[in-house]
Amino acid sequence: MASSSFIVLPSTPAASACLPLSKPVAGGGRQGRRRLSCKCKAGDDDLAVRRRLHRRDVLLGLTGVGAAGAINLGGLALAAEPDSVPATCVTVPVTDKVIRCVSADGFNCPGVYRPEDVVDFSALPPPNGPLRVRRPAHLVAADAEYVRKYEAGVRMMRDLDASGDPRSFKSQAAIHEAYCNFHYKVTAAASRTPEIDFDVHFSSIFAPWHRMYIYFFERIIGELIGDTAFALPYWNWDAPDGMMLPPIFNDASSPLYDANRDQAHVTAVMDLNKGPGAENDLPLCTDDACVKENNLSVIYRQMAVDTALQFHGNKFCAGGTPGSPGSLENAAHTAVHIWVGGDMGVLGTAGRDPVFYSHHANVDRMWHLWTTTLGNQDFLGAGAGTEDDWRDTSFVFYDEKRRPVRISVRDVLDAGRLGYTYEEKETLEWRDKRPKPATGIDRPARPSVPAALSFPVALKKGRKEYVTVERPEEARASGGSSKTAPEVLVVDVTIDPCEYAKFDVLVNVPKGQEARVGPQDSEFAGSFENLPHGGGDGGGRGMGRLTLTYRFALRELVEDLGCDQDRRLDVTLIPRAGEMVVVEGVRVELCKDS
């Protein structure tokens, strides 16, 4: 496999909510099962052409929902000309007046309502009676009565599809498409720029928005079947016994079935480290037990982050800084979407597959576990202003009574206050899967510093890229970073948002020995993975390229490899999938929430 080597050149780092170094050292295959209708700009693969792409050709920021007049539900992707990009995050007050949905390209905005009809969630009576209990999806198959009710509820939702009822399955799926496929715009007055697109991914809004979304979906089913105690099952792909498609979703006669799924995967053990068409030269597993162990390591890395900034992602901005997904979004969440494939494999159609809602119930459970069982705290701002900037973000959904309800992040921080909880009968095996240093690799003395090469660098499958980065002096002086300000490896990357893309990141692995390091090893820092936009009724509405920032946790890695006092780290980038991936810069920072 070909390779290239370079050391990161000094430059000014991109705007970040993390603490920069005292001396900055940062530099400035497609899914084959369906042809996406996304209308993204393709661009040229030649690196000389890519270097002319402004690193903020497309920026993401997130806010709330609404618009003057008829209001709908939606999401944000910021496109800006290079000369107009502000240097810092432009925050937007989150109100009903900020966002409007655009019906175009065959897509009709769902959930239209009159502003005067909106009620506040906080003004509604709180849930009463016992908590609704969400159970593991692979275990509820034994409860025939529960499965009958669940199927009946989804069938009744589908029966409403032709009626225009906002509670119909079609309308509910369209909500996700609207919020996640660039059908919403932040108004010019709010963003202080020309109107920009909106997406609920790539920021700290990802987890609370999806909690709201499946909360109302669950309540609608309960109302239709006359059972207020009904709770969605969660697909617990974080447990070895749950790492296959739950049987209730694989019955062709059931309304829970989706024929568009990747048929090679519906009865196979899920592999969270692979994607469609990815060239993966990780150490090969010869049995399902090995695959499951690798999966548990992936989930451990997702959950064992120290700050909410790492877990949730950056604050939402209406301009200025790139979007930044957290580990909750980028890791198992995206890998499961890709593994299932079909409707689930593209953001525009993901909500059309009934398993989506159980998948996201488990994503929600991961958030719940992170704040309860693991004892972490949700964040507050990370430089975005006050804590209320995040907590007061609000959206409007139709509830089970067909009322448009305004609900805020503040309303959904505690699942118990929403009237539900999770049944936990299985051991959280991933908690004990902290990676260990790889065995069987030679660890020679540090080689001479490689020749310098400036960013951007286009990733090509079959060619590894090697980067040497400086660590913060503060971390070296204290023999490692702390949980309150952990070290993170920050990678700025520009992608085609309509393309499946993935690359792995290794740390301190000698050249030529990469195939000896896998997810169970400390040197494997993790993967960046993009779930394609596009699909659905409106394509991708002409999106351009997208610049994102992702943080790989380093605190435990540095500790386990015994390099806590080293000045530099050697980083290897291994492209797995994607033809339009450009790395704009790599650096190490100390990261904290505020």
| Per-residue model confidence as pLDDT tens digits over 70-86 | 322 223 332 333 333 33
Q: Identify the pLDDT of residue 279.
A: 58
**Model confidence at 91: pLDDT above 70:** no
What's the confidence (pLDDT) of residue 383? 42
Using one digit for the tens of pLDDT, what is the confidence trace for 503-535?
999 999 999 899 899 999 999 999 999 999 988
Across the range 310-330, mean pLDDT stands at: 84
Please, what is the end-to-end C-alpha distance for the chain in angstroms? Answer: 42
Q: Could you tell me the residue ranges of all domains in the chain? A: 99-432, 457-590
pLDDT higher than threshold 50 for residue 50: no
pLDDT, position 26: 34
Q: Which of 16, 56, 505, 555 is nearest to 309 (CA)?
A: 16
Domain 457-590 in the same topology as domain 99-432: no
Give the whole-angstrom CA distance, residue 275 versus residue 501. 9
Please spell the DSSP secondary structure of 362-428, one letter per residue: HHHHHHHHHHTTS-------SSSS-THHHHT-EEEEE-TTS-EEEEEGGGGS-GGGGTEEE---S--
In this predicted structure, what is the pLDDT of residue 188? 63
Q: What is the pLDDT at residue 112?
A: 87
pLDDT at 494 over 50: yes
Q: Is the pLDDT of residue 262 over 90?
A: yes
For the stretch 120-176, pLDDT in tens is 999 999 988 899 999 999 999 999 999 999 999 999 999 999 998 999 999 999 999
Output the pLDDT for position 452.
55
| Residue 133: per-residue pLDDT | 98
How far is 404 from 378, CA to CA, in rounded Å? 27
Q: Judge whether residue 29 has pLDDT over 60.
A: no
Q: Write down the pLDDT at residue 84.
A: 36
Burial class (CB in 10 A: 0-12, 13-18, 19+), 290: middle
- Confidence at residue 470, expressed as pLDDT on a 0 to 100 scale: 93
pLDDT surpassing 90 at residue 479: no
Q: How far apart are CA 438 and CA 516, in angstroms?
A: 8
- Residue 318, pLDDT score: 64
Q: Which two tokens stand for residue 574?
A: 């291994």
| pLDDT tens digits, one per residue of 423-475 | 998 899 999 999 999 998 888 766 555 545 578 999 998 899 999 999 999 99
Write down the pLDDT at residue 258: 98
**pLDDT tens for each residue of 538-555:** 555 556 788 999 999 999
Name the one residue in this structure whose structure tokens are 């800006």: 80
Quick one: pLDDT band at residue 12, thresholds 50, 70, 90? Answer: very low
- Sheet containing 568-577: order of strands: 2-7, 463-470, 568-577, 501-507, 524-530
From start to end of 208-306, where are the E strands? none
Pairing of strands 132-134, 420-422: parallel
CATH number of 99-432: 1.10.1280.10
Over pLDDT 90: what percentage of the chain?
A: 60
What band does 48 get if pLDDT is binned at 50, 70 and 90? very low
Phi/psi of residue 303, nearest 5 degrees: -90, -25
pLDDT beyond 50 at 31:
no
Encode pLDDT of 347-398 as tens digits: 999 999 999 999 999 999 999 999 999 999 886 544 444 467 788 889 999 9
302 or 23, which is more confident? 302
Lowest mean pLDDT among 38-52, 190-204, 230-244, 247-261: 38-52
The per-residue pLDDT of the chain, averaged, comes to 81
Q: What is the pLDDT of residue 380?
A: 53
Give me the mean pLDDT over the 570-587 stretch.
94
- Model confidence at 19, in pLDDT bands (50, 70, 90)? very low
Architecture of the domain delimited by 457-590: Sandwich (2.60)
- Mean per-residue pLDDT, 554-579: 94
484: left (phi over 0), alpha (psi -120 to 50) or beta: alpha
* pLDDT computed for residue 278 by the predictor: 57
Predicted local distance difference test score (pLDDT) of residue 390 = 84
